[in-house]
Structures are given as C-alpha cells and as structure tokens.
Amino acid sequence: MKLIPFQNHSRETADPTVLELAVDADPRTLHLRDVRRIDLHFPKFTDGRAFSQAYLLRRRMGFDGEIRATGDVLSDQLVQMKRTGFDSAVLSAGQDLCHARAQLSRFSGFYQGDALQPQPRFAPTLNSNVVTA
C-alpha cells in the first residue's frame, strides 16, 4: 500500500480520470470506464462507510484502478483499508509515516478472505482433504 503524507497530497480536481466519491454515494451507480483512480473520503476516523465503498468497488464491481483513502486517515486503520481494497492512503496531519509503515508490516497473513484474496487461507487445505468414493 502506498502511503502519502498529508503535506504531499494534492487534489487533482481537473483530471477527468480521477473521481472523488462522496461518503454517502452509492458506488454501484458509477460509470467507471475511463476512471483510473477513485478517492474515498473518511470524514472522521469513526465513519467507516468508505470501507464498504472500497469493497464494493473492488469485489462486486471489479474496479482495478487505484482506490485512495483521504480525510481523517489514521495509521491504525491501514491494515483494514488494505484488506478492503485500498491501494493508497493520504495520512492525516500529525500521523507518523514510519509508524504507519510498521502497522502495515505487523501481520504476514490472515485466515479470513478479503477484497484482495477472497478465499480463506484454509480453503485450499480443505479441498485437498476431500475423500472420494
């Protein structure tokens, strides 16, 4: 996941291939043909609607462009952002970049499936133990 310090982020409002999606917008209503990046906004860290938007875009709609988290983005949220389909995150002012990178490397894998790896980690093991008659 690409991490962008707050001061290094510029809003590319004139770029027609970049879409800023409101937190209450339904991603299923979008036409994504020429869109290469979608910015999803976290108005405050306790508002998780952008997680659901990212998951919908990535898994249900098959969007393969960049999904970027903006707004009140804390380093503690980065692992879940990555698992729900975000590619990059603009850290909130005051967030330490080194701490954020450390958060992303804390876990080497997960048992549950997610937006990037839909199969649970144990699924291949289950299939190899099937006994046929």
CATH classification of the domain holding 8:
3.20.20
pTM, whole model, 2 decimals? 0.78
Domain count, the chain: 1
The amino acid that residue 125 corresponds to is T
What is the rounded average pLDDT of the residues 7-11? 74
Tell me the one-letter amino acid at 3: L
Query: Does 133 reside within a domain?
Result: no
**Does residue 63 sit within a domain?**
yes
| Cα 69 → chain centroid | 7
pLDDT tens digits for 48-106? 899 999 999 998 898 999 999 999 999 989 988 888 889 999 999 999 999 899 887 87
DSSP-based three-state secondary structure for 86: coil
pLDDT band at 11 (very low <50, low <70, confident <90, very high): low
- Nearest Cα residue to 23 out of 70, 83, 66: 70
Instruction: Assess if residue 109 is contained within a domain.
Output: yes
The answer to whether residue 16 sits within a structural domain is: yes
Interatomic CA distance for residues 101 and 37, integer angstroms? 22
Q: Which domain holds residue 117?
A: 2-128
Contact (Cβ atoms closer than 8 angstroms) between residue 75 and residue 96 = yes
